[in-house]
Each structure stands twice: as structure tokens, then as C-alpha cells.
Structure 1
């Protein structure tokens, strides 16, 4: 089967391999998918500046007329050399016609052509994944959000390109502030490098002055707003997160962790008669979040928290089944939780 694990993708991209002229990149982070697709395109050997050598098609366009893909893949470049066909926008749909065309091209690839497909988060049973993974001349590359060494590698590459060093404290602050979208994260790091032009090292003060803490502070604000019943704040916070490229599942996981923590804390309030301020103090949240924790604990009962967690888990399952609707599902989840919190607060349900 022609595929790589998520941790092997960077190594594969570092060594061009034209024995796999059909390359599918998929995952929940559209920025990372697009960035890696651009790397495959650059490594293909095609002249990206020549419209006769590089063409871009939409997945919907190919789904309606698969013959267009065959025509482009089998066209010989006017001035010789390799050609590139890039297909964008293959979300979580079935795309059976596109999958069939890729299976044929992967089995018998035309000479001197590279076909790159950008897709959303695909299940193993997806026709697109199945077609590419089974074809002898095709490769499927999963793209998941930056974590650990992958994020550090991106930071190191940008710092080296700008002839800058970054210390441990500044690096940790930078990592905490980067969002879930690879392109947005790289843009923030490049903005930081530009700000530090003429220096030899990036300081903590530089990071705090330049890099917006979208992945941390805004996610926390949205989660706190949902748990505290601040319904009117949520639309603006959700819009900010969407603009920053924050992946829906990252926000879902933050909501899940927060309500699990509230459940443990609320148990101490109801079953051990601890006061809300003392329970929150023992948790040691960031001082900015302390009022939100206290408000949420004073709102939700253990019974209500159990219902909320079931609702969160159902939403997570729904986004896995309907990836193209993930953003809408998450927005509906947070607003629904906020409405429920406001209702409970009006009743004084969790005071204690």
C-alpha cells in the first residue's frame, strides 16, 4: 500500500520521488495540506510559472468531468519537461469519479506528469484514499497539525532563514501562541523574524510584542464564554478563531478538557462540601480565567455536566462523520452549551 504515516511525511518530502507521480495530501489542517502540496509541486520539476506546464483544477470540476483530468494529465508540455496538475478542494465528500480517475492514473501514469490532490480529513474507507493507497504509482500523505518536533522544526527553519537564534523561554512562549493552521503559524513566525531584523536573537519580549496568542487566549475565551453562559460573546470569538485558521477539532478538544475538569471540581463541591473559591484556587488557573472558572462552577451541577459531556462527545463523533460540516458543528456546540449555561444560571442551579 502506497502511504506514509504522519511522522514520515516530512522525510518523504525531503527526497523527491518521481516513482509516485500521483500524490494525495489530506488532513484536517487545510494550511498544512496546502503548504505540503506546494512543496510537492516545487519538487515535481515542472515550471510553475508556465501556464502550459502547471494547471490547477477544482475537485468539483473533475468530479463533474473526469475527462478533463485525463486530458490535462496526458497533454505533452509545449516546450518539453514535466507538467503539474494540481487538484484543490477535495473535502470530506466521496468524489467517486475523481477517485476512479486517480486509480487509473495511479495504475498507468502518463509520462512526465505529477498530479497533486489536496483533500480534507479522509477516513480509511474514503474512495479517494482507497484509490490512491491501492495504486502502484500513487502516494497518500496524511497531514495533521503541528505538534512537538514538527512545530519546532518549522520554527528552526524560519529562524535559520532569517539568521536568528531563539532561546528556550522565547521558543516556549512562541509555541504556545501559534495556531493550529500551519500556514497561519508560519506567517506568525515570519512576522516575528521580520520584526527582529538586524538582531542576532529573538527575545521573550519580541514574541510578546509581535505574535498574537490566537491558539491559546482566544480558545480559552471561547471555552470560558460557553461554560459561563456568555452567549453574545461567542459569535465574535468564533469568527476570530476561524480567521486564524484554528482547527475545529482543536477547539472541541479544549471544550472537552474544560468540562472534564469542571466535572472533577464540581464533585468536590457537591460531595465533599468544598467551597467554589477554594476548589478553583487548588486548580491554579491563570489569574485571567479565575472568574470564569468560578462562574462556571457556580452554574453547572454534576448532573448538568454529565449531559454536557455527552453532548460534546456526540459533537466530536459528528465532526468525524461529517468533516466538511465540522466548523458549523463546533459553533453549534459552543452556542448550545452557552445557552444551557445561561438557563442554569438564571435558575441558580449550581450555587454552592
Structure 2
């Protein structure tokens, strides 16, 4: 069965024992992971997780159905999770859906799967499966997502806060959820005690640094000035890793949009004027457009977002991760010739 956004959120928050497979596909891997985490929480803190990979599914297609039907060692709740699912899992999924019994739900995440592919179509046709296509929300959809997630934490976002949060997180559901959790904690909000969250509250939990403070570091990264980037990062001081990565992601996303127009035939001067690039950034943006091609920009955006997600995890290397990624991107820029 193919689920809508509302249906899938309701389904993962209150799992149906009859559903054997939850298949999350599409490019928004963060969104798929967030849905998988919600389903795991709904199954309870004592739920046992069994991880499988594509290698094991190819070599032993019947193992997926076996694991789905197996009882937990201690008789509790159990579920199976597969990441990086590919079309090669088709036989394993068919055996799962066709098995006589399968008491443990399977969560499958396949960012590379196509909606028109055989695996997704098989799951859509099965009454015991749910499929959902995960795409990175943009524009008004991203703002709506911020409002929806906030409501689940007892927050009513007011004014331009939904748009600000959507823009700051780049539509990344995992980062958005963590930022909303921080805001809910700050306001002591919960579903049973809702609170209004305005711009002042958002600023209070740590507003991003302005472009002025970060411009030189980001310019050095995009210019590929490897010899200077260390000095620029050191001048920012502690506590700037997340603002730096977010501003860098925003600049890269702007470059991606401009580069798209250039690839359709527009000149650098034309795209700078069309998108009304701030005069202080025009020279640096022009240099970046001459250096970076579309594929390189997309890879850089993905790496920056992955680094920010890694920073959110407890036990991470902290700001060292941001510095290392900025240096890596600067080195890539030094080699790049758009």
C-alpha cells in the first residue's frame, strides 16, 4: 500500500501488527531515518533490533522472512531494520510478504530505489506493506513540516518561525526535529502543556551568526584557499560549528540554483543580477561559479548536511568535525574547475 504523509506518520506512531514491511524510499534519507526512529520508539524502549544488509539478503533471501517470524530471546518485541535497500532485495521481500506468518515488522530504507522500480511496486501491491516516498521538503512544504513536527512537541510556531526553522535546517528532518526538541525543552512545552514559540524564543536558544561574521571563512572554503582556512576557522572561536555549517550549506544551495541557470545558458553576470546577489558577495559568488560545477556543489551540500547531523549525536568529535569538513571542501575547491 502506498501511504500519504499523514498516513505514514500515523502508522509509525501506532504500528499495525498486520503490517510486515515499512518501505521508505526516495532521496531524503534523513526523513526516512526519522520515520524509522519514530516507529522504533512506538514499539517500546525494550524492543530488540536486528540489522540486516544487502549482502546477507542476496546470499540468503529467506533470512528476512525467518528473522521476521523469529521470537526474541527474552520473548519481547522485535523488529528488523535494513538500510541501503536495493532492487536486489526483491526475492527476500517477496518471501517475507508471502510467508505464512511474520510477527516482527521490517523497516527497509532505500534512498536509491525508484518509485517505478519493481521492489516499490511489489510493496505497493501488498496489503501487508506500507511504502512512502521521502523527498526533501522545500519552500512552503518545509515550513509546514516544521509546524507539524513542532505541534507534536507541544509547540505553536508563530510569525516567521516556521520559515526560519525550515531555512536554517535546509529541510533536513533529523536536524529540524532536534532543533524543535531544543526549543520545546527551553519553553518547557509538551503535548499536554502547549506553548507558543516566537522569534525571540528561537533567538534565545542560539540564533545563527550573521553572514558578516562567517563570510570570510566561507569565502576561503569556496575559493579553495587551503592555506588560509585554518586561520579563518580559528578566528571564529568556540560554539560556531553549527552556524558555520548552516551558512555554508545556504551558500552552496544558492550556488546550486545559480549554477542551474548557467547550465541552461545564462552567463555569470546574468544570474548574479537575476538572483539579486548582495553586492558584497558578488565577486566571491562569481569566482565560485567559475570553479564549481553542479555535481560538485551537490556533493558538497550532502557532505555539509551529513557533518551537521553527526555533530548532533552525543559522543561526536564536536567542532573538530566541522573544521575537518571545511578543510576537506576547501581542498576539493582547490582542485575544482567548474
Question: What is the TM-score with the length of structure 1 in the denominator?
Answer: 0.61
Question: Measured at CA, do residues 314 and 292 of structure 1 come closer, stay the same or move farther in structure 2, by a change above 3 Å?
Answer: closer
Rounded to whole Å, the distance in 2 between the matches of 1:244 and 1:209 is 19
1:62 is aligned to 56
Question: Measured at CA, do residues 218 and 117 of structure 1 come closer, stay the same or move farther in structure 2, by a change above 3 Å?
Answer: farther
**C-alpha displacement of 1:59:** 1.6
What is the RMSD of the two structures over their aligned residues, measured on CA atoms?
A: 5.1
Rounded to whole Å, the distance in 1 between the matches of 2:184 and 2:78 is 32
Q: 2:147 aligns with which of 155, 164, 176?
A: 155
Deviations 1:57-78 (A, max 9, x none): 1324633444442322222468
**C-alpha displacement of 1:157:** 4.3
**C-alpha displacement of 1:174:** 2.8
Question: Measured at CA, do residues 47 and 295 of structure 1 come closer, stay the same or move farther in structure 2, by a change above 3 Å?
Answer: closer
Question: Measured at CA, do residues 169 and 87 of structure 1 come closer, stay the same or move farther in structure 2, by a change above 3 Å?
Answer: closer
1:255 is aligned to 255
Does residue 23 (structure 1) correspond to residue 14 (structure 2)? The answer is: no
Does residue 85 (structure 1) correspond to residue 41 (structure 2)? The answer is: no
Q: 1:208 aligns with which of 203, 209, 223?
A: 203
Count of residue pairs brought into register by the alignment: 299
Question: Measured at CA, do residues 56 and 124 of structure 1 come closer, stay the same or move farther in structure 2, by a change above 3 Å?
Answer: same
2:282 is aligned to 293
What SS does the aligned partner of 2:23 have?
A: strand
Question: What is the TM-score with the length of structure 2 in the denominator?
Answer: 0.63
Rounded to whole Å, the distance in 1 between the matches of 2:98 and 2:251 is 40
2:173 is aligned to 182
Rounded to whole Å, the distance in 2 between the matches of 1:156 and 1:70 is 35
Rounded to whole Å, the distance in 2 between the matches of 1:58 and 1:218 is 45
Q: Is the 8 A contact 1:57 1:86 kept in 2?
A: yes
Larger radius of gyration: 1
Q: Is the 8 A contact 2:69 2:103 kept in 1?
A: no
What SS does the aligned partner of 1:139 have?
A: strand
Rounded to whole Å, the distance in 2 between the matches of 1:145 and 1:283 is 22
1:73 is aligned to 68
Unpaired runs of 5+ residues, structure 2, are 234-240, 307-326
Rounded to whole Å, the distance in 2 between the matches of 1:131 and 1:222 is 49
